[in-house]
Amino acid sequence: MGFFDSVIKYKNQDYDKLKKECQTKGTLYIDTEFPPDDRSLSSQPGKFGSVVWKRPKQICSDPKLFVEGASSGDVSQGKLGNCWFVAASSCLASFKEVWHKVIPNAKGQEWDAEKPDNYQGIFKFQFWRYGHWVEVVIDDMLPTINDELVFIHSQSKNEFWSALLEKAYAKLFGNYEALDGGELSEALEDFTGGVSDTLDMIKMELAAKSEERVALFARMQKEMDRKSLMAASIPATSAEDMEATTDIGLVKGHAYGITAVKNVHLEGSGLFGIFNREKLPMIRLRNPWGQGEWKGAFSDGSPEWEKISKSDRDKIGLTFEEDGEFWMTFEDYCKYFVQTCICRVVNTSYLSLTKTWHEGLAHGAWTTPDRAGGCPNNKETFVKNPQYSFDVTEDSDECMIQLMQKSTRDKEGSQNVTMGFTILKVEMNREQRVHDLDLQERFISTIYRNSRSTFLRHGPFKKGRYVVIPSTFDAGHTAEFLLRVYTSSACNFKELTLDKPKKPWYNCCGRAPCLVTQIKVIKATDLQRQERDGADPYVIIKCEGEKVTTSTCKDTTNPEWNTSAIFYRTQPHKKPVKIQIWNDNILRDEFMGRHLLDSSNECKLQALEVGLMGQKAESNTIKPGKITIVITQSRQLMSV
């Protein structure tokens, strides 16, 4: 699903229709699907105190959706433990392209002092949910205590976009309490439809490794330019640590929005000699509480800023207000923060000048009894999980894969299952489900996490076909999920549903497969030199009308392919598997030798080093070189 795809109306509520009904009746809208009472606050009546629901005009005299546009300073946390959502909202405010999607037709929804009769107390917001954009309609009645908003609020008393946004999001999950506790990636993805990557900066050893810091800074600069949303946190390790302020002013168990990643010029300043560099990598963050800031170097009002020219301070928008926003060096950032969350809006538009990705998307489910096999520790049942194949058509390609469970976060809170996925490199022509893990190359696995999504960005992927197997950690657990795969070129993404080949309707009188053969071509040695630099050999594997071609190894007479093919054979005694080696040429490829595999004996992972022979006319001629293959054959078609 793209960033500007069609929108689904939540609970079938039509904003335009509901607004027109209110205009006709001359009334203000009241949302019966999310009523202004305790049911919309919590499953426990009175949990937040004596709350009075009020419309903005009952709270201030001149309410506005926006006061001088949206900014990260418009979002301050209230009496709800949803700093993850608040930090994401701060990020959202920094990028117009994103919040114009989340808050559609903001100008049309704004209060108009000249046309007060046009206001019906109804608003709409849009969130991305599992491959679709969903429009949520709400009324403008907000929970207050002593005329103060209970939850998210803006520093401007008459600005309400952030409070209304939070209400719409709470409606999506049942009530406000359902937003208590969560992950940054959840809200960032729901604002953008992007894919989130959470980096563990301790495991990456960024505090000690300067090269890795430089690489991450460059990446974060690039992501900021691409309008990615980013946030940071220091996870709490105990209940006592939760929201505890450290000596340096940072809060544990708390999410900070990242609002800028910049190099600050030091040339000509007194800091040039201290840091011994022309530019200083710096990062700006925002505390969702709207107060409480970093106390170290380059904190608000610190002496380091006095040594940087006013023009450079103005360029980065430096202010010294108690607004929760602060700067720090990237080195200090990597030293004191633990996690960085990057949510990337993946570009799939061919009209764009930026990097374009090809998307494979599938809605799936772990279901009992035969599609909930658990993680690879459950060796007998793991392959019973849903399976999806995709192709990498360019060598050394980078791919991004995200598994997102359709979370049951609701009035009782999140009920995520622990999940992850494994990627196998399989036969280039596999169309059926994998049945034996021992016969496949395990390319990479993610860790298993009790979170809504798991993300993998990895490269290089070699050219070939891969199978993704998403799974819960324990067998027998059920849940729905969304799987997204992004590659640089078209990837032929699809679910593998068949256990063995389906007999075509037009071949009703033909033979059914009686033997499955998996052949892996490992390497060749001492091939005949074809040119000064050796040869450019590749392999063609043929069997019963089907053909698989490996990639070409350049300038070598000792190539390594490690490429597999699978064949479901109807006449193994009459039609052998043909393995041919060719030299890649511009005008005409040259034959270098072949081997015929005519055995139909059952075997598993049998390694053979065999010689090469000539073509039909010279079938008894021995060609230079040998080829190493690994063979598996079985009459049980569902064993490979």
Catalytic residues: 83, 254, 287
Q: What gap in Å lies between CA 397 and CA 7, rounded to an integer?
A: 33
User: Any idea which residue has 């170290």 for tokens?
Assistant: 296
DSSP 8-state code for residue 452: S
The rounded distance, in Å, linking the Cα atoms of 627 and 137 is 66
Distance CA 475, CA 56 (A): 50
Contact 564, 519 (CB under 8 A): yes
Q: Which positions ≥6 away from 554 have C-beta within 8 Å?
A: 536
482 beta partners: 363, 404
Neighbours of 517 (CB within 10 A): 22
Task: Please answer whether residues 98 and 227 qualify as being in contact, where contact means their C-beta atoms are separated by less than 8 angstroms.
Answer: yes
Residues 6+ apart with CB under 8 A from 306: none
Rounded Cα gap, residues 221 and 115, in angstroms: 44
Residue pair 374/460 in contact (Cβ under 8 Å)? The answer is no
* Alpha helices, H only, 234-379: 272-275, 310-315, 330-336
Q: In this structure, how many other beta carbons lie within 10 angstroms of the beta carbon of residue 15? A: 20
User: Considering Cα of 242, then 245, then 246, then 250, what sign does the dihedral take?
Assistant: positive
Distances from the Cα of 67 to the Cα of 102, 154, 156, angstroms = 18, 10, 7
DSSP letters, 395-407, are TTEEEEEEEEE--
Burial class (CB in 10 A: 0-12, 13-18, 19+), 590: middle
Which residue type occupies 567? F
Distance of CA 147 to the CA centre of its chain: 41
Exposed, middle or buried, 403 (CB in 10 Å: 0-12/13-18/19+)? buried
Q: Which of 213, 256, 251, 206 has the alpha carbon at shortest distance from 231?
A: 256
636 Cβ neighbours under 8 A, 6+ residues apart: 516
CB 98 within 8 A of CB 4: no
Count CB-CB contacts under 10 A for residue 501: 14
Query: In the β-sheet with 441-445, what is the strand arrangement from edge to edge?
Result: 441-445, 419-426, 464-472, 387-392, 494-496
Reference 341, options 191, 135, 167; nearest CA is 191
Burial 261-293 (b: 16+ CB within 10 A, else e): bbebbbeebebeeeeeeeebbbbbbbbbbbebb
For residues 537 and 527, what is the distance between their CA atoms, to the nearest angstrom? Answer: 9
Backbone angles phi, psi at 259, to 5 degrees: -110, -10
